């Protein structure tokens, strides 16, 4: 077929460090670009509008998390299952999964858009949005909600490609979105004076173009993925829908528990005023710099674990986990040193407000705990997600999102009277829970039972 490219790659051969780094680097740069254009929103709005605009974008970003957690859960589940089918050499199931994901996530995008357009006021009240930034926050949030379909579409196509072992093309698509977003951000917020509304509009337009380019790639490679975009192939096939729902719902619950618990904690933080909102928003963006590395390694490691289990190459799994740990530890350590000794410079990239910079210094110890969690989590998430253990995913969700984050925040912030520091620390300490659970799972060896029986069947037939 004209224009067809190889997008299915075997991740079960070659050295583990080499394969993990080669597969994760495009994912890392994709996350870096995505984080970059999100940070551009805050930097441009902070400079042109001031602390009020910066705080509005911070809260609007929290609303955006509520929109995306469903897409992230089912997309990640689809990625893991596609990786498993590739490892098992079940290509027909890959095509069935593509059609099922399109129908499921497309329908959910429409439903969630409608629900949020009718409920956003209540959500902004729940988040304790300060009155002086209410209108800015409303403009940013509602505009982002209108882009839900494109957000879901991009996450869907990227998950399909990553499941096939292709991390290069998702990087190209997010690069397109980043360039468009940055150019339009400066234009809309600067000369046109559209404020936070312009920043949100630039984000939505960038995501739309990214999704359309990604969709074009899938169409040009429809023979390779066994999905020809015929209307009949968009039906939800029972053979793959059942495992998708079985794995996807716990992963959605995991994303929801973490998202809602963070928003619960942030609702208390927001009550401390606009400066506190700005500091917390900037801190989240800075932490996301380690988060993009963490997410890249978690996603790449999960795909590698899933393919290894599908092909019954069990000896590779512990190597993947250990490699993922040290790959994240090196850049996290460097960033921790910069944060420890130059916090005013880091926060000063977003705001020159003296009150914001003064409060930022008190956040530094919390940031170090956040970096530690971001270092320890990805290796264990790669194992848990890659093995497709839905029950363990649910346990992580409940312990991390509800018991730890909300419980610790209320204990430290209210019961022990630590105030905003208590809420910050409660959120940071909860990030260590996945590491504890994943370590026990790794040492127990129970992940070995998740391997496909294909290898055993082939050996039996050959005998």
215-221 average pLDDT score: 83
The Cα 208–Cα 194 span in angstroms is: 20
What band does 454 get if pLDDT is binned at 50, 70 and 90?
A: very low
Instruction: Tell me the C-alpha to C-alpha distance, in Å, between residue 312 and each of 87, 304, 447, 459.
Output: 9, 12, 12, 12
Could you report the per-residue pLDDT of 35-90, keeping only the tens digit for each?
666 667 777 777 777 778 777 887 787 777 777 777 878 888 888 888 888 777 78
Helices 195-220, 168-189: axis angle to 10 degrees equals 150
Burial class of residue 98, CB neighbours in 10 A (0-12, 13-18, 19+): buried
The Cα 138–Cα 129 span in angstroms is: 10
Residue 7 has pLDDT above 70, yes or no: no
276-292 average pLDDT score: 77
Q: What integer best gives the mean pLDDT of the chain?
A: 80
Residue 140 has pLDDT above 50, yes or no: yes
The Cα 348–Cα 36 span in angstroms is: 16
308-324 average pLDDT score: 87
DSSP state of 403: I
372-383 average pLDDT score: 87
Residue 258 has pLDDT above 80, yes or no: no
Give me the DSSP letters along 134-170.
HHHHHHHHHHHHTTHHHHHHHHHHHHHHHHTT--HHH
User: What pLDDT score was predicted for residue 3?
Assistant: 52
Burial class of residue 147, CB neighbours in 10 A (0-12, 13-18, 19+): buried
Residue 232 has pLDDT above 50, yes or no: yes
Burial class of residue 206, CB neighbours in 10 A (0-12, 13-18, 19+): buried
Instruction: Tell me the C-alpha to C-alpha distance, in Å, between residue 167 and each of 38, 76, 388.
Output: 21, 14, 20
Instruction: Mention every residue, 6+ apart, whose C-beta is less than 8 A from residue 245.
Output: none
User: What pLDDT score was predicted for residue 408?
Assistant: 86
User: What pLDDT score was predicted for residue 451?
Assistant: 67
What band does 456 get if pLDDT is binned at 50, 70 and 90?
A: very low
User: What pLDDT score was predicted for residue 15?
Assistant: 82
Residue 438 has pLDDT above 70, yes or no: yes
Determine phi and psi for 331, rounding to 5 degrees: -65, -30
The Cα 380–Cα 302 span in angstroms is: 9
Residue 1 has pLDDT above 50, yes or no: no
301-328 average pLDDT score: 86
Give me Rg for the CA atoms of the chain: 22
Residue 184 has pLDDT above 50, yes or no: yes
Instruction: Give strand ranges (E) for 13-132.
Output: none
User: What pLDDT score was predicted for residue 385?
Assistant: 81
Instruction: Tell me the C-alpha to C-alpha distance, in Å, between residue 187 and each of 204, 225, 271, 312.
Output: 15, 39, 33, 53
The Cα 153–Cα 159 span in angstroms is: 10
Q: Look at 437 and 32; give whichever has higher pLDDT.
A: 437
The Cα 402–Cα 253 span in angstroms is: 11
User: What pLDDT score was predicted for residue 189?
Assistant: 83
Residue 267 has pLDDT above 80, yes or no: no
Cβ burial 367-406 (10 Å sphere, 16+ → b, else e): bbbbbbbbbbbbbbbbbbbbbbbbebbbbbbbbbbbebbb
């Amino acid at each position: 077929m004209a224009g067809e490219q190889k997008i299915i790659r075997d991740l079960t051969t070659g050295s583990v460090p080499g394969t993990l780094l080669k597969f994760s680097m495009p994912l890392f740069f994709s996350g870096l670009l995505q984080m970059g254009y999100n940070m551009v929103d805050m930097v441009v709005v902070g400079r042109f509008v001031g602390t009020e605009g910066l705080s509005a974008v911070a809260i609007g970003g929290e609303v955006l998390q509520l929109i995306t957690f469903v897409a992230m859960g089912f997309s990640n589940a689809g990625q893991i299952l596609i990786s498993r089918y590739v490892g098992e050499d079940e290509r027909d199931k890959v095509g069935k999964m593509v059609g099922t994901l399109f129908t499921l996530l497309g329908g959910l995008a429409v439903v969630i858009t409608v629900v949020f357009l009718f409920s956003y006021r209540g959500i902004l009240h729940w988040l304790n949005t300060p009155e002086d930034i209410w209108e800015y926050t409303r403009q940013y949030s509602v505009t982002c909600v209108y882009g839900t379909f494109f957000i879901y579409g991009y996450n869907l196509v990227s998950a399909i490609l990553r499941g096939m072992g292709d991390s290069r093309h998702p990087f190209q698509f997010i690069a397109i979105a980043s360039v468009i977003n940055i150019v339009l951000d400066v234009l809309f917020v600067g000369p046109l004076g559209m404020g936070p509304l312009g920043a949100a509009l630039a984000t939505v337009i960038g995501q739309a173009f990214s999704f359309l380019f990604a969709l074009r790639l899938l169409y040009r490679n429809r023979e390779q993925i066994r999905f020809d975009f015929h209307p009949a192939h968009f039906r939800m096939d029972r053979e793959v829908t059942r495992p998708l729902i079985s794995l996807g719902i716990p992963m959605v619950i995991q994303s929801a528990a973490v998202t809602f618990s963070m928003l619960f904690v942030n609702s208390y933080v927001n009550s401390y005023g606009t400066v506190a909102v700005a500091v917390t928003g900037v801190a989240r963006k800075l932490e996301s710099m380690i988060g993009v590395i963490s997410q890249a390694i978690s996603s790449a490691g999960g795909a590698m674990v899933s393919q290894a289990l599908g092909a019954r190459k069990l000896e590779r799994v512990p190597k993947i986990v250990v490699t993922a740990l040290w790959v994240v530890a090196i850049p996290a350590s460097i960033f921790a040193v910069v944060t420890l000794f130059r916090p005013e410079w880091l926060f000063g990239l977003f705001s020159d407000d003296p009150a914001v910079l003064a409060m930022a210094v008190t956040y530094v110890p919390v940031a170090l705990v956040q970096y530690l969690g971001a270092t320890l989590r990805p290796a264990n998430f790669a194992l848990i997600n890659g093995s497709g253990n839905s029950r363990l995913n649910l346990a992580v969700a409940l312990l991390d999102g509800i018991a730890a984050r909300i419980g610790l925040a209320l204990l430290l912030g209210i019961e022990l009277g630590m105030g905003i520091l208590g809420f910050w620390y409660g959120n940071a300490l909860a990030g260590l829970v996945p590491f504890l659970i994943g370590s026990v799972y790794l040492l127990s060896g129970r992940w070995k039972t998740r391997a496909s029986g294909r290898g055993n069947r082939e050996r039996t037939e050959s005998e």
